[in-house]
Amino acid sequence: MPPLPQGHPLRAMKTPPLIAQLLFNRGITQPYEVEPFYTADKRLSFDPYLLPGMEQAASRIYRAVLGMEKIAIYGDFDADGITSTALLMHGLSSLTPNIVPYIPHRLNEGHGLKVAALEKLKKEGVSLVISVDCGVTGVLPVKKAGRMGMDVIVTDHHTPSGELPNALAIVNPKLAGSVYPFNELAGVGVAYKLLQAVLTGLGRECLLEEVTDLVALGTVADMTPLLGENRYLVKKGLSRMNSSLRLGLKELLAKAGMTSGTIGADNITWIIAPRLNTASRLDHALPSYELLTTQSKERAQELANWLEQKNGERQQMTTQAYSRAREQVTAAGLTPILMVKDAEYPAGVSGLVASRLTDEYYRPAIVIREGKRVSTGSCRSIPEFNIIGALGQCKELFLEFGGHAGAAGFVMLSHNLGHLREKLMKIAEKELAGVDLRPRIDIDAEASLCDLGGEMFQHIQKLAPFGQGNPVPTLVSRNVRLLNCRTMGATGEHLRLRFEQAGSAWDAVAFGCGENLPELKPPLDIAYQVELDQWNGRSSLRLNILDFQQTRK
């Protein structure tokens, strides 16, 4: 990160220089911006009616409620879509009993609105469909719905890929011409803004508090930047989760060996979201939806047990598929964009495999489940390469595609795979020319170990919640002494260390670095994050070592 310039206004603040640098790295440029960033309160939130299509959407919902029409909430099957569905079901159920959820099957139906599903809902008497976390690419399904006499309100946050569906309303901050000040809401964030508009118009805005936990869960799970309005929504939702945890989440955390009351964004990322997503990866997403909505302790326990078991299966499948993908990458050699294909790649974990490839090789990666006639692909990318933009340049090859700059997916005829590879390779070679495609660690600032004492950790925690766009600060300290080091873990795969610099000594851990023990030749430069280690009822600060090298003389 670039250093804070001399004479910058943040330097005049009564805050440690290290904290001023961290604020600067997160886009804070003026002192008056600091307090709202810390508090992450309602000042970061905006009028829902600034979103395109909101007035038409809210008006149509009022009409459906007054006319006792049957409404369907049509959600995607990932954690963002599941929480979006649960949120609108909970909020709108307070206005009408005539409302049903619909979550498609990942393998049998796929992403987005489907004609067959809409036909089924029509037969059940549904006259208004509200999509959440999907729909902005559903041109044909929305057209078919109109012919059947059904209205569709699309709420989505994905980037439009051309022609828009002729829906009654499209609520999406990424639409061209949108004046909404923040365009990085997750699908659940857009659904929340719709519910906010509807309930506020009826003087029942107080009911929004009951669903803020779902907003936090879906926002963090979908890896949207925890900046701007997302900071407000996630901070508010985490507070709700820690004071009034849903039965299902309480049981889910218990299965993972965690107690409620100290839930942070990292717990959503590493514990809750993977288990919620596991349901659709291996089966159907409905058990995860039910976990978030059940009022039965017994049912919550059953669902948590099932998800824990499925999560173990998912981990094993991912490891096996990743091993195969890695072999293919090694055999083919590194290219600007990684593309692997196999008929045996499980569709439910292809995105996870692509993500691991991107993390290891620092390149956009595409994992393709190749079928005899139709193939599906899951894509992950790096900040320097907009994957949905690249797919948009190949749109004539796809039956369906959609996603974000960093993650996307597609469905296509298998005989076009060669053409896709050729086109994407040319795009990647051009756009990534001159980019250093080596795995890297982004360093926030250089610090001495003695800078970390006192209340520094408390100052750093004011920047939370941490996540995408606002990562846990990563620091580097140079020329530190290694006091002692030993391996830990059943097979010695981790390291436990102690460092000293200028009279300040710190305990540290280095996960997955056990084999690097012979390379630890002090003095060292270390890259790390400061964390709170909680073990056996005791809490202490330590350094989580991300990388190290011998200090250059």
Q: How far apart are the C-alpha atoms of 325 and 380, rounded to whole Å?
A: 14
What integer is the mean pLDDT of 529-540?
Answer: 84
Residue 176: the pLDDT is 93
Residue 343: the pLDDT is 94
Mean predicted lDDT score pLDDT of the chain = 94
The gap from C-alpha 160 to its chain's centroid, in whole angstroms, comes to: 19
pLDDT class for 262, splitting at 50, 70, 90?
A: confident
What integer is the mean pLDDT of 172-195?
Answer: 97
pTM for the model? 0.90
User: Is 171 exposed, middle or buried, given 0-12, 13-18 or 19+ CB atoms closer than 10 A?
Assistant: buried
Contact 135, 164 (CB under 8 A): no
Give yes or no for residue 543 having a pLDDT over 90. yes
What integer is the mean pLDDT of 384-411?
Answer: 92
Q: What is the pLDDT of residues 448-475, one digit of tens each?
A: 999 999 899 999 999 999 998 899 999 9
- DSSP E strands, 60-111: 70-75, 99-102
pLDDT class for 362, splitting at 50, 70, 90?
A: very high
Contacts of 234 (CB under 8 A, 6+ apart): 215, 216, 219, 220, 226, 265, 465, 467
C-alpha distances out from residue 272 to 190, 279, 469, Å: 21, 12, 20
Q: How far apart are the C-alpha atoms of 414 and 370, rounded to whole Å?
A: 7
DSSP-derived secondary structure for 209-236: GGGHHHHHHHHHHTT---STHHHHHHHH
Residue 248: the pLDDT is 96
pLDDT class for 347, splitting at 50, 70, 90?
A: confident
Nearest CA among 371, 390, 387 for reference residue 379: 387
Give yes or no for residue 518 having a pLDDT over 90. no
pLDDT class for 97, splitting at 50, 70, 90?
A: very high
Nearest CA among 293, 295, 256 for reference residue 273: 256
What integer is the mean pLDDT of 509-513?
Answer: 92
Q: How far apart are the C-alpha atoms of 410 and 397, rounded to whole Å?
A: 10
Minimum mean pLDDT range among 128-137, 187-196, 507-516: 507-516
pLDDT class for 386, splitting at 50, 70, 90?
A: very high
Which domains does the chain carry?
1-36 (no CATH), 48-244 (3.90.1640.30), 334-431 (3.10.310.30), 441-550 (2.40.50.460)
Q: What is the pLDDT of residues 308-318, one digit of tens each?
A: 999 999 999 99
| Pairing verdict, β 151-155 and 126-132 | parallel
Q: How far apart are the C-alpha atoms of 543 and 529, rounded to whole Å?
A: 6
Residue 106: the pLDDT is 86
Contact 507, 543 (CB under 8 A): yes
